[in-house]
Amino acid sequence: MCGIVGYVGEKKATPILINGLLKLEYRGYDSAGIAVIENNNIEVLKDKGRVCNLESIDGIDKLASTIGIAHTRWATHGKPSKENSHPHTDNSKTFAVVHNGIIENYNELRDFLISKGYTFYSQTDTETIPNLIHYYFSKDEINDNNRFLRAVRCACNDLKGSYAIEVISKLFPELCIVVRKDSPLVIGTGNKENYIASDIPAILSFTKNFYLLDDNEYTVITKDSISFYDNNLEKHNKAIKSIEWDASSAEKDGYDDYMLKEIFEQPNSIRETIGSRLKLDEKCDFEDLNFSKEYLSTINKIYIVACGTAMHAGLSGKTIIEKLCKIPVIVDIASEFRYRDPLIDNKTLCIYISQSGETADTIAALKLAKSKGAKTLAISNVIGSSITREADYSIYTHAGPEIAVASTKAYTSQIVLLAILAIYFAEILESSDKETLENLKSDILDLPTKIGIVLDNLEPIKDFAKSVYTQKDMFFLGRGTDYNVALEGSLKLKEISYIHSEAYAAGELKHGPIALIENGVTVIGIITDSSLVEKCISNIQEVITRGAKTLVISNQILPNNHFDYVIDIPSTSCLISPILSVIPLQLLSYYISKNKGLDVDKPRNLAKSVTVE
Ligand code: M6R
């Protein structure tokens, strides 16, 4: 979950490292630090708190080094403190390391190192790594150029768990060694300079050419060269990738917060997701998929597995796929699926959704399905992300970089992509009539314009946010696919406004939770399915009777309008209505958070990519 940056070149490293860390704060922001090689010594500057605190550390502006590593932390082992911040050094300050991930056997390694005379100043799992490197380096009797690399490889062979690490050494002041296992790491190339980062946006303003590292691929980086080695330290070549993302797409662009910018980007991100995959009067086409009728007909069930918001997108996908393809779909939380011993075989298709493509539980769930013989399909926003490299098939949302911790545009793009995938399957299987599919295609193509209409209607949402931001509890109700949106609205509210909320299938309320409704409690209803309008209204009526304050988001004609607030959204097929009905909810949490004076983009305790279990 932590962010990593590195630089080897001819420019002053410190400003580049800090600039990269600032762009990576969404990965963790409880402490930050850098290490550079200055006058043949390792200088470490770090502290708890945000990256901007680094700039006020005494002497940081005097560092002239042109090589360095940097880290922004989301604490796992050891509370946020200066001692626990990265980079960490070995006892002799010969090696400095930053690390993202978790070393599961760190206690064992610590005991081993203590038995060899090493001491520890932090509670982190990471501090074992520079000391292990030092241990193996000291034991190596061959004093050649590869001694540093051999020591890193030997140390990594002892590590259990996940890691992306950068290592520098005062004995090799011109190079940085990096390696990853189940944690992201990329290398960006420049002219007489090379960059390292856990995520592309951190260095997108410097380069568009990247190497995407594989697990256990040891990489030695100098300003003029990048050399890749396998686990036996055999050298190999690697293809470079050009990333099309525009550097400005990773900036705020005049918006107060990334989240607001990303909400407003949705007309365009949806256009990008649709791309050339869906056209009226033509069959849907995915460049990277070639499913046959023969194969699709053998599928006995589809699993959609993901976490958080991506899992909520999966719930909407289930409704669409079941309706159009007549294949049963089970949606599961990745952290549950991976330990459930799920019933899957070679007739099961498992779809994994992950914006970042780096979520540890989702990747582990994918590996499990593969080991049981299922076909796996990844849906991600990040080209070359870990999940896409594990899956049999990958398709991309192309929503552009999503920086805010609260996911917005990725969610709507994921549902659009699932809808197009469902149409693609249905066309191959001939499981739905042409008219149904053509109507849905037309509705999907109209989404960008309709999202624009929803985004033009901000005032009632701002008003409502102002009237409820001091509340302690809220409820979100919906039936059918509106219930899926209720879940997502409730998650958004919790994560950036810190208001407790619950989402319920509207008909379930009277089976218990209605006991919590009393005067002034806020209830938000979503009503977009014409076949369920009356039922839903009755349920909301039940809470009004008990004193609730209500907001309803709907594209239906609502009889007996007793609601305090109604937000009208354009009508569309109820299969894809979540893409429109979620937007007022995204905005509502945003404005509530602003009213409370909170940091919208960096909510407490959270990080953007959850790369640990
Ligand atoms: O990168 P992923 O889509 O795999 O992330 C999954 C969840 O961690 C993520 O959606 C999380 O729930 C968001 N913070 C929600 O806004």
**Residue 28 pLDDT > 90:** no
Task: Answer whether residue 454 is part of any domain.
Answer: no
Compute, in angstroms, the gap from residue 546 CA to the centroid of ligand 1. Answer: 35
The share of the chain scoring above pLDDT 70, in percent, equals 99
Mean pLDDT score of the chain: 93
Pair 560, 546: CB distance under 8 Å: no
Task: Answer whether residue 612 is part of any domain.
Answer: no
Task: Answer whether residue 487 is part of any domain.
Answer: yes
307 lines ligand 1 (CB under 6 A): yes
Mean pLDDT of 264-283: 94
**Residue 355 pLDDT > 80:** yes
SS3 98: strand
Task: Answer whether residue 613 is part of any domain.
Answer: no
432 lines ligand 1 (CB under 6 A): no
356 lines ligand 1 (CB under 6 A): yes
Residue 199: DSSP 8-state = S
Domain identity same for 418 and 472 = no
Mean pLDDT of 503-529: 90
362 lines ligand 1 (CB under 6 A): yes
Domain identity same for 297 and 200 = no
399 lines ligand 1 (CB under 6 A): no
Which of 77 and 131 is assigned the larger pLDDT? 131
Active site residue 62: no
**Residue with CA closest to ligand 1 atom 2:** 354
Active-site position among 46, 48, 549, 608: 608
Mean pLDDT of 92-102: 94
Closest ligand 1 atom, residue 306 Cα? 4
490 lines ligand 1 (CB under 6 A): no
Compute, in angstroms, the gap from residue 606 CA to the centroid of ligand 1. Answer: 10
Task: Answer whether residue 325 is part of any domain.
Answer: yes
Compute, in angstroms, the gap from residue 111 CA to the centroid of ligand 1. Answer: 36
Pair 484, 320: CB distance under 8 Å: no
Compute, in angstroms, the gap from residue 408 CA to the centroid of ligand 1. Answer: 10
Q: Which of 305, 359, 396, 412 to mutate to test the pocket of ligand 1 (most atoms within 8 A of CB)?
A: 359
pLDDT of amino acid 102 = 85
Pair 32, 71: CB distance under 8 Å: yes
Residue range 290-346, pLDDT digits in tens: 999 999 999 999 999 999 999 999 999 999 999 999 999 999 999 999 989 999 999
Domain identity same for 20 and 67 = yes
Please, which pLDDT band fits residue 218 given cuts at 50, 70 and 90?
A: very high
Q: What is the dihedral of CA 302, 305, 309, 314, to 10 degrees?
A: 0
Active-site position among 2, 156, 307, 325: 2
Total domain count, the chain: 3
406 lines ligand 1 (CB under 6 A): yes
Q: Which two tokens stand for residue 435?
A: 């008219």
Compute, in angstroms, the gap from residue 410 CA to the centroid of ligand 1. Answer: 9
Domain identity same for 408 and 466 = no
Domain final residue pick, 415, 445, 475: 445
Domain identity same for 389 and 295 = yes
Task: Answer whether residue 605 is part of any domain.
Answer: no
Q: Tell me how far the alpha carbon of residue 420 is from its chain's centroid.
A: 22
Compute, in angstroms, the gap from residue 54 CA to the centroid of ligand 1. Answer: 28
Residue range 226-255, pLDDT digits in tens: 999 999 999 999 999 888 777 666 677 789
Closest ligand 1 atom, residue 408 Cα? 16
Closest ligand 1 atom, residue 380 Cα? 3
Please, which pLDDT band fits residue 572 given cuts at 50, 70 and 90?
A: very high
What ranges in 430-518 are assigned the alpha helix state H? 434-455, 459-468, 481-497
pLDDT of amino acid 248 = 66
Compute, in angstroms, the gap from residue 300 CA to the centroid of ligand 1. Answer: 28
Task: Answer whether residue 451 is part of any domain.
Answer: no
Q: Which residues pair with 196 in a beta bridge?
A: 6, 187
CB atoms within 10 A of CB 589: 25
Compute, in angstroms, the gap from residue 534 CA to the centroid of ligand 1. Answer: 33
Burial of 461 (0-12, 13-18, 19+ CB in 10 A): buried
Residue 51: DSSP 8-state = G
Least trusted range by pLDDT, from 79-93, 123-137, 244-258, 450-464:
244-258
Domain of residue 123: give its range: 3-243
Please, which pLDDT band fits residue 205 given cuts at 50, 70 and 90?
A: confident
Integer Cα distance of 211 and 240 in angstroms: 5
Residue range 409-468, pLDDT digits in tens: 999 999 999 999 999 999 999 999 999 999 999 999 999 999 999 999 999 999 999 999
Mean pLDDT of 268-290: 92
**Residue with CA closest to ligand 1 atom 11:** 308
**Residue with CA closest to ligand 1 atom 9:** 308
Domain identity same for 201 and 335 = no
Residue 522: DSSP 8-state = E
Least trusted range by pLDDT, from 7-21, 86-100, 494-508, 546-560:
546-560
Integer Cα distance of 313 and 573 in angstroms: 16
Least trusted range by pLDDT, from 46-60, 293-307, 375-389:
46-60
Domain identity same for 322 and 435 = yes
Pair 419, 436: CB distance under 8 Å: no
Domain identity same for 23 and 160 = yes
pLDDT of amino acid 554 = 95
The answer to whether the peptide bond before residue 87 is cis (omega within 30 degrees of 0) is yes
**Residue with CA closest to ligand 1 atom 14:** 406
Mean pLDDT of 55-65: 87
CB atoms within 10 A of CB 272: 17
Domain identity same for 12 and 105 = yes
Active site residue 46: no
Closest ligand 1 atom, residue 610 Cα? 8
Domain containing residue 563: CATH number: 3.40.50.10490
CB atoms within 10 A of CB 146: 13
**Residue with CA closest to ligand 1 atom 7:** 308
Closest ligand 1 atom, residue 308 Cα? 12
Radius of gyration of the chain (CA): 26
Domain containing residue 58: CATH number: 3.60.20.10
Domain identity same for 260 and 345 = yes
Pair 521, 475: CB distance under 8 Å: yes
Which of 531 and 131 is assigned the larger pLDDT? 131
Domain final residue pick, 445, 473, 489: 445
405 lines ligand 1 (CB under 6 A): yes
What ranges in 83-200 are assigned the alpha helix state H? 106-115, 128-139, 147-158
Mean pLDDT of 270-286: 93
Domain identity same for 182 and 298 = no
354 lines ligand 1 (CB under 6 A): yes
pLDDT of amino acid 585 = 98
Integer Cα distance of 391 and 374 in angstroms: 10
Domain final residue pick, 193, 228, 243: 243
Domain identity same for 422 and 526 = no
Mean pLDDT of 206-223: 94
Which of 564 and 438 is assigned the larger pLDDT? 438
pLDDT of amino acid 287 = 84
**Residue 76 pLDDT > 70:** yes
SS3 67: strand
Integer Cα distance of 43 and 55 in angstroms: 15
Residue type, 126: T
pLDDT of amino acid 161 = 87
126 lines ligand 1 (CB under 6 A): no
Integer Cα distance of 378 and 388 in angstroms: 6
355 lines ligand 1 (CB under 6 A): yes
pLDDT of amino acid 58 = 84
310 lines ligand 1 (CB under 6 A): yes
359 lines ligand 1 (CB under 6 A): yes
pLDDT of amino acid 607 = 78
Compute, in angstroms, the gap from residue 407 CA to the centroid of ligand 1. Answer: 6
pLDDT of amino acid 401 = 86
Top-ranked range on mean pLDDT: pick from 298-312, 510-524, 527-541? 298-312
Integer Cα distance of 611 and 163 in angstroms: 9
pLDDT of amino acid 52 = 83
Beta strands in 382-491 (DSSP E): 393-396, 473-478
Task: Answer whether residue 607 is part of any domain.
Answer: no
Compute, in angstroms, the gap from residue 452 CA to the centroid of ligand 1. Answer: 24
